[in-house]
Structure 1
Amino acid sequence: MVLAGLANAHIECSDIEIVHIDPPFSNSTCINYLGPFMRYAGGVLRNPTASTDCLYCPVDQTNQLLQQLGLETEHAWRNAAYMVVYIVFNTLAIFFHLLGCKNAKSQQEMNSARTTKLRLPIPQ
């Protein structure tokens, strides 16, 4: 269920997560230098037109993080439905099991009450 809520969300990197990169060529902008890499690896530049100190955030979408953890975002709602069915089934199974135990216990009490003989004191 968490996957369904986290999928396709935008991530904003904090200042400590930003990677500072200087392009090796003085006439190159950050987007020209890092563009091919970003098409392959993803991420986002905070200053794409700068020629020094490129501020690169390695993650732009939550889907990138979820894929690294082995979680598929394309089946998120289907998996959430499976989880709901699992929870409902187990809740009903516990309810009916406890109901059956209660009925069995009350049946035993009724049977033991029938077999117990009542002894009354004899008046003198």
Structure 2
Amino acid sequence: MRFEDLLVWKRSARLCSEVYQSFSQSRDFGFKDQITRSALSIASNIAEGYERDGDKDRVKFFSYAKGSCAELRTQIYIGIEIGYIDKSSGQRWAEETREISRMLYGLMTRFRD
């Protein structure tokens, strides 16, 4: 199996694309950079972890991805509050980060055993 076949990677890559598209015209470069980087970090760390040789390394990178989910979710909440993200999209994205986080936890558990 390749990392591209993992549902958690597919969902995180799709979420990243949505975030990037949503902020493509944003002139707040600081916020735009931070939210897009955290979104990109999720899928990137999943891929990097999956390609690692040892289970301990895999779990470490999946943990980084899980942390990036929390970071992105925080930025989504702030983006809603300051009017950069409409509430319905933000709530959907936040729920997706929670789902991805749960999936990552399952993947981490699988490689810890």
More strand, by proportion: 1
When normalised by structure 1's length, the TM-score is 0.26
Q: TM-score, normalised by structure 2?
A: 0.28
Structure label with greater radius of gyration = 1
